Amino acid sequence: MSLLPFPADRRTSDVRRCAKALQQLHGEAANRFWRSEMASFAAILREQGMEDDEISRQAGLYMHAVQMELQLAFAEEELNASA
């Protein structure tokens, strides 16, 4: 029996941690952080025996989840600023 990893986009604590860090970073610092996160992400999944196609799919799901978290944070900031 093989172990299926928990889907990356549902790792809410990692998604929120990453989004929070990206809110504080800009430009090249944000790019370096994101590249480092994704390299670590891929390395962990590869060590678990995941195929490259599935790693790419999981990375896309994770990236989308982080983007959605960033959009939510922005919307909350806008709502608080208008209140």
DSSP alpha helix (H) spans, 5-48: 12-24, 27-47
**pLDDT at position 2 over 70:** no
Q: What is the pLDDT of residue 43?
A: 93
Q: What is the pLDDT of residue 78?
A: 86
Query: Other CB atoms closer than 10 Å to residue 60's CB: what's the count?
Result: 12
Domain range summary for the chain, segments of one domain joined by +: 8-82
pLDDT band at 5 (very low <50, low <70, confident <90, very high): low
pLDDT at 17: 94
d(CA 50, CA 33): 23
Distance from C-alpha of 66 to C-alpha of 3, rounded to nearest angstrom: 25
Closest CA to 16 of 70, 77, 60, 57: 70
1 alpha-carbon distance from chain centroid: 28
pLDDT digits (tens, 9 = 90+) for 19-45: 999 999 999 999 999 999 999 999 999
